[in-house]
């Protein structure tokens, strides 16, 4: 009898996946964000700083005050109706679809040294799109109407970025020659940085309902099953 442990883990994983499947899509959204979108966003942000050291070399640039793309300021509260929570989450995330794709498109044409960053931005864009689609599906499934986005144009984003950089330079907080490329690169960084904040706000909108599996349980269960399945157990 050497299989019970593995069997146990297998059953647990099966139970876990059925729990995840039968749980409302709200929690699927949360898992999607925590397991896919947030990690790839974090990696893309780190890689931005590797490829463009001028950002990491100055805290005013790195910990930016330029909240770019956060045009929707409503936040979710506990007592909000499901319809409103889903709407707020959807608007917040879908507003970033176009800006994030802008960032990807810029890097895509920068040559082979930017391949890693390009791949990370593409993955982040993909996961953002998937998360927004999941939310959209959930909204329609509940018979609600899908709210419209309100994103800023590329010209507007560039304009705000240039103003922010100019203010830093004028106040001698950074030494920088503000070229068009510097503006676009920093715009892209600010988009990633702001999206990270927006994701935190979205968690309050899509947090799992009581019957849904929570993230800690999910993570612990995955770790446990990975360990029990590891070859060292044999």
Ligand X SMILES: *[C@@H]1O[C@H](CO)[C@@H](O)[C@H](O)[C@H]1NC(C)=O
The answer to whether 89 and 202 have CB atoms below 8 angstroms apart is yes
Which residue number, 24 or 39, has a Cβ lying nearer to ligand X? Answer: 39
φ and ψ at residue 159, rounded to 5 degrees = -60, -50
**Residue 132 CB neighbour total at 10 angstroms:** 22
Q: How far is CA 166 from CA 26, 61, 70, 159, in A?
A: 42, 12, 21, 11
**Residue 201 CB neighbour total at 10 angstroms:** 18
Is 125 a binding residue for ligand X by CB under 6 A? The answer is: yes
Stretch of 62-70, 97-105, 133-141, 203-211 contacting ligand X, by CB under 6 A: 97-105
Is 134 a binding residue for ligand X by CB under 6 A? The answer is: no
The answer to whether 36 and 127 have CB atoms below 8 angstroms apart is yes
Q: Which of 6, 13, 19, 39 binds ligand X (CB under 6 A)?
A: 39
Is 147 a binding residue for ligand X by CB under 6 A? The answer is: no
Which residue number, 58 or 98, has a Cβ lying nearer to ligand X? Answer: 98
Helix orientation angle between 154-170 and 97-108, rounded to the nearest 10 degrees: 80
* Minimum separation from the CB atom of position 171 to ligand X (A): 31
Stretch of 145-153, 176-184, 186-194, 214-222 contacting ligand X, by CB under 6 A: 145-153
Contact string (CB under 6 A) for ligand X, positions 150-189, x = contact: -x-x------------------------------------
Assign 155 to helix, strand or coil. Answer: helix
Q: Summarize as ranges the residues that interact with ligand X (CB under 6 A).
A: 39-40, 43, 97-98, 101, 120, 122, 125-126, 129, 149, 151, 153
């Amino acid at each position: 009898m050497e299989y019970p442990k593995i069997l146990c883990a297998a059953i647990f994983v099966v139970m876990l996946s059925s729990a995840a499947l039968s749980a409302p899509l709200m929690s699927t959204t949360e898992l999607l964000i925590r397991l896919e979108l947030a990690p790839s966003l974090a990696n893309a942000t780190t890689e931005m700083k590797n490829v463009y050291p001028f950002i990491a070399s100055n805290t005013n640039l790195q910990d930016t005050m330029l909240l770019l793309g956060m045009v929707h300021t409503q936040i979710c509260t506990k007592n909000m109706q499901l319809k409103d929570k889903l709407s707020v989450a959807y608007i917040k995330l879908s507003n970033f679809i176009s800006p994030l794709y802008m960032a990807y498109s810029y890097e895509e044409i920068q040559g082979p040294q930017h391949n890693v960053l390009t791949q990370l931005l593409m993955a982040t864009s993909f996961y953002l799109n998937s998360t927004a689609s999941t939310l959209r599906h959930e909204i329609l499934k509940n018979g609600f109407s899908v709210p419209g986005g309100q994103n800023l144009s590329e010209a507007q984003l560039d304009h705000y970025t240039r103003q922010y950089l100019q203010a830093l330079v004028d106040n001698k907080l950074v030494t920088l020659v503000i070229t068009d490329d510097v503006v676009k690169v920093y715009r892209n960084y600010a988009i990633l940085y702001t999206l990270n904040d927006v994701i935190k706000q979205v968690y309050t909108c899509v947090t799992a309902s009581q019957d849904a599996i929570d993230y800690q349980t999910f993570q612990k269960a995955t770790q446990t099953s990975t360990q029990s399945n590891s070859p060292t157990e044999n």
